[in-house]
Amino acid sequence: MKLLLRLTVLIFLVVAWSLEMVAQVPTGDSIDYYPYRAGDFWGLHSTTVADFPPDVYIVEQDSTDTLGNRFLFLQQSPYQIISGRMMIDTSGDVYADVGTDSVQLLYRTRAGVGEQWIVRQTPTRTVYAICSAISPKTFVIWPTMLKEFQYWSTSGSGDSVWEATRVLASSFGEYYQCFDSSDWNRWYYASTYLTGVWLRGQMYGYISAVENRVSQNALRMTPNPFNAGVVLTYQLDSRQHVLLTLTDALGRIVATPVDEVQNAGEHSTSIDGSILPTGTYFYHLRTPSLAASGTLIRY
């Protein structure tokens, strides 16, 4: 009888924990496959060259026009070799390189399997895309839906050439990319997959390269482990908005010590240990030029 009771309690706790994990998934409608806002970023890790750090894509700015179209300005770290202006219209279409002569309809987030469209067309070349598959998936521990897109091009001669495969995850965005590695500019990240994404103040998964965006002396924590409190000190190279949050082991925000525009120079903020139970916590520092995540232990 005691064993049965213990098993019942254990099952209840597991179910409750699972429901809490599901509740941590970013909210949005069922077709929100491109959910990013300013301050969000995500990491895609190369499966082609193991010793290359993940590419971290950062949403530096966002805005919405009077028609409801959302505009994003993206940058890529650590190499800063790619930047892009994206537009997500009210029908869920995602356009890349907006404002240039090479604008392309990159995704149709509402597309069903088999739906096809023209990505970009020039006098000598047409790039096509098709939604090739939709399937359930678990990203780390969070349920999601994957939507796969295939891209190919045709020239004036009528020859077709495969160019890329891209996959979006509902509520998480960019999940997988695979490019034609014959393009020498892309050989080192011909195939990449999502390891982590920072959305609206919470981290899902992990981005090991995030810490590399901050020099060793740019952010200091004293003491760590801590009891009464911990002081975090960081350096800004210009006036910018700073968001510093503290999350628990379940990814819930337990403190937001900083959420404001600060001037260039050194800044310090403290976290009161008396308001936190003993355990492991994670800090997340985010500015337009810095991003860092790390561990704090309260004993």
Q: What is the pLDDT of residues 126-185, one digit of tens each?
A: 999 999 999 999 888 889 999 999 999 998 777 788 888 999 999 999 999 987 655 544
Q: Which of 203, 185, 186, 202 is nearest to 194 (CA)?
A: 203
The rounded distance, in Å, linking the Cα atoms of 216 and 9 is 46
pLDDT in tens, 200-241: 777 787 775 444 443 344 567 788 788 888 888 888 888 888
Write down the pLDDT at residue 8.
Answer: 53
55 conformational bin, left if phi > 0, alpha if psi -120 to 50, beta if neither: beta
Give the C-alpha separation, 166 to 180, whole Å. Answer: 12
Neighbours of 80 (CB within 10 A): 9
Helix (H) or strand (E) holding 18: helix 2-23
Cis amide bond preceding 26, omega within 30:
no
For the domain covering 214-298, report its CATH number: 2.60.40.3080
> Alpha-carbon torsion 78, 80, 82, 87, what sign?
positive
Q: Residue 88: which of 200, 162, 173, 15 has the closest Cα?
A: 173
Q: Say if pTM beats, i.e. exceeds, 0.85.
A: no
Amino acid at 150: Q
C-alpha 179/C-alpha 161 separation (Å) is: 12
Q: How confident is the model at residue 23 (pLDDT cuts 50, 70, 90)?
A: very low
Q: What type of residue sits at position 57?
A: Y
**What's CA 61's distance to the chain center, in Å?**
14
Is residue 231 classed as helix, strand or coil in its secondary structure?
A: strand
Q: Give the tokens for residue 110.
A: 């509402």
- Going from N- to C-terminal start, the domains of the chain cover 41-206, 214-298
